[in-house]
């Protein structure tokens, strides 16, 4: 079971699948509203890094 915010959930589930787990994802309820613009760029970079680490 993977529990994270809905922003990171797709990457977390992808990594779990590639590591031969059967993941079940649960998005945590956000407690604060804040600007996500920085985190969007970071998540894109982290997704590419995860792909690279799992396939190369």
pLDDT tens string 3-38 = 988 888 999 999 999 999 999 999 987 776 666 777
DSSP structural state of residue 13: H
Number of domains in the chain: 1
Determine phi and psi for 30, rounding to 5 degrees: -65, 140
The reported pLDDT for the residue numbered 26 is 92
What CA dihedral angle connects 46, 50, 1 and 18, to 10 degrees?
160
pTM equals 0.69
Range of the domain at 18: 2-55
């Amino acid at each position: 079971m993977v529990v994270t915010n809905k922003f990171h959930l797709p990457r977390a589930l992808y990594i779990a699948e590639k590591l031969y787990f059967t993941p079940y994802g649960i998005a945590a309820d956000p407690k604060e509203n804040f600007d996500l613009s920085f985190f969007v760029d970071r998540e894109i970079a982290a997704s590419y890094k995860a792909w690279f680490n799992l396939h190369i």
